[in-house]
């Protein structure tokens, strides 16, 4: 009877893969499952696959998935609306999970064995930069060095707006090259680029994919607690289309807008003086719009 299902991993590494995939699908009665780098537009690469492919993005393992796989919990997914409206009930149900979000930031996202975790992660980052991004442009030794320097710069900083001129000076590259590096690393899934809510030409905020901040922290600096909180939040809600709120110079605003909600991220003593709809707090206190931060890790 022959094969009915064909599975191909890292298809983007084969020259002419798009045409081969189109031929395989059109001329044989088989189902083809394939994976490829997020740095590449798999559907529109070369051959027209858009009418033949159902494309699924595989995001990093969420806090909930990591708990279920690494700690043998059985936590279901909760819609964002339920996390916001039932924060008191969910906190009572899952209070024991709260201290584990910091461990998730160190060893979550990717499910490598704990022994040699950071060595495997280092190899993966280098592979993404050297191999996956080579599909977009020629990757030289200097490009690799600059990409790592940019990731390191984001990791050791508090959450910051991506002033491309400042990045260019820090990396000793042109402003256009700084913009290109941010775009490439975002396409590759290493950086998360968050734009201001009002659009315009204001520059975005940059966040790292979990657990890259803690990976680079091994170089000898303390991670910024506020950056970790925001990064946990952004990593889990990035598919909800968040944007960050930018006030006038010196004006304090709540951190994010997600759909119709304005949500601020902060410590347990965070007040409501910035008038958000909700506060994602690093703690277990609920009420008055407070939602424990770790609960946002249950939305997928």
Of 79-93, 182-196, 273-287, where does the model show the most confidence? 79-93
Q: Note the pLDDT tens digit of each residue in 199-212.
A: 666 789 999 999 99
Is pLDDT larger for residue 104 or for residue 161? 104
Where exactly are the structural domains of the chain? 1-58, 63-298
Is pLDDT larger for residue 225 or for residue 237? 237
Handedness of CA 247, 252, 258, 261 (dihedral sign): negative
Handedness of CA 36, 40, 46, 51 (dihedral sign): positive
pLDDT at 43 over 60: no
Task: Please report the pLDDT score of residue 18 as a whole number.
Answer: 81
Task: Please report the pLDDT score of residue 253 as a whole number.
Answer: 66
pLDDT at 93 over 70: yes
CA distance 20 to 185: 28
Task: Please report the pLDDT score of residue 14 as a whole number.
Answer: 81
Q: Note the pLDDT tens digit of each residue in 248-257.
A: 665 656 689 9
Task: Please report the pLDDT score of residue 42 as a whole number.
Answer: 63
């Amino acid at each position: 009877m022959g094969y009915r299902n064909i599975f191909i991993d890292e298809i983007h590494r084969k020259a002419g893969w798009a045409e081969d995939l189109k031929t395989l699908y059109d001329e044989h009665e088989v189902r083809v499952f394939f994976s490829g780098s997020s740095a590449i537009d798999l559907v529109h690469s070369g051959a027209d696959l858009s009418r033949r492919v159902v494309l699924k993005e595989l995001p990093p393992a969420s806090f909930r998935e990591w708990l279920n796989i690494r700690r043998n919990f059985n936590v279901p997914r909760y819609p964002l609306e339920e996390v916001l409206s039932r924060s008191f009930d969910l906190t009572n149900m899952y209070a024991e999970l709260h201290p584990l979000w910091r461990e998730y930031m160190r060893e979550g996202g990717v499910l490598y064995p704990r022994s040699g975790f950071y060595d495997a992660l280092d190899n993966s980052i280098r592979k993404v930069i050297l191999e996956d991004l080579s599909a977009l442009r020629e990757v030289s030794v200097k490009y690799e060095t600059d990409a790592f320097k940019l990731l390191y710069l984001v990791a050791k900083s508090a959450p910051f707006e991506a002033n491309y001129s400042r990045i260019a000076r820090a990396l000793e590259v042109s402003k256009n090259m700084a913009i290109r590096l941010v775009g490439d690393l975002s396409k590759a899934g290493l950086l998360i680029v968050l734009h201001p809510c009002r659009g315009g030409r204001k520059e975005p905020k940059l966040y790292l994919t979990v657990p890259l901040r803690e990976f680079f922290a091994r170089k000898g600096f303390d991670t910024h607690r506020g950056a970790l909180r925001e990064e946990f939040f952004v990593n889990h809600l990035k598919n909800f289309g968040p944007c960050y709120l930018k006030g006038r110079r010196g004006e304090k605003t709540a951190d994010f807008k997600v759909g119709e909600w304005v949500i601020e991220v902060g410590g347990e003593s965070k007040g409501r003086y910035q008038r958000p709809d909700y506060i994602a707090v690093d703690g277990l206190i609920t009420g008055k719009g407070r939602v424990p931060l770790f609960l946002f890790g249950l939305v997928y």
